[in-house]
Amino acid sequence: MRKSRAPRSALFPKALLSANVQGNIGRLNVNNSPYFPVTKPQGAALLKFEWPLYEGGLLQNKLSLAQSKHEEAAAALIERTDQALREVAPTYDQVDTGLQQYDAAIALQTASEAAFRSASDSYAHGVGTLTDATSAQTGLATARTAVARAHAQSLINAAALAFATGELMSISDFATSTPR
């Protein structure tokens, strides 16, 4: 785990170097005497050495506090990641399930259409009964309803997934969406 560098660096000795250059340049006149030129350049160089020997555990407490804040931020990140996964994973599963239901409904509709054609042809040729033809027609209507229901549910699930992933923030995003 990466430690915070700022509090840890406060435990080590420091050497500081500073410099200052200045000068008085001008003329001086006292009680109407002639002017005297003043040219006094000045400079200084300072070397400061700091080494914290004892501060009552203050630096160690700062280091512990920084480590604690780092761990708190890492835990918050993990929590937010887990929360996002808890929100997105079920909606993704719902989209996947909805698409499988749609595929099953399409297969049911295809089979119902074949059964309806067969029952209608049988009835038309006098081999089948009206009850079989009516039952096949009811089955076809039920299959078409299942396709429409599965299609609508798939769209609802896709919108929920887009909302959970942040792609859809409001109804205006849905109304004015542009393909990517």
Comparing 78 with 58, which gets the higher pLDDT? 78
Q: Which residues contact 27 (CB under 8 A, 6 or more apart)?
A: 35, 36, 37, 38
Computed over every residue of the chain, the mean pLDDT equals 85
Question: How far is 53 from 12, CA to CA, in rounded Å?
Answer: 9
Q: Which residues contact 17 (CB under 8 A, 6 or more apart)?
A: 45, 46, 47, 48
Comparing 106 with 89, which gets the higher pLDDT? 106
Q: Is the pLDDT assigned to residue 65 strictly greater than 90?
A: no
The pLDDT, as a whole number, for residue 1 is: 43
Question: How far is 180 from 178, CA to CA, in rounded Å?
Answer: 6
What average pLDDT does the segment 69-83 reach? 92
Comparing 150 with 160, which gets the higher pLDDT? 150
Question: What type of residue sits at position 131?
Answer: T
Quickly count helices (H) and strands (E) in the chain.
4, 2
Average the pLDDT over each of 28-32, 79-83, 100-104 and give the range with the smallest value. Answer: 28-32
Q: Is the pLDDT assigned to residue 7 strictly greater than 70?
A: no
What average pLDDT does the segment 164-179 reach? 66
Q: Which two tokens stand for residue 73?
A: 């931020």
Kindly report, residue by residue over 9-49, the tens digit of the pLDDT: 766 788 899 998 888 788 878 888 888 787 888 888 999 98
On whether the pTM is more than 0.75, the answer is: no
Q: Is the pLDDT assigned to residue 180 strictly greater than 50?
A: no
DSSP string, 105-116: HHHHHHHHHHHH
Domains of the chain: which residue ranges?
81-175
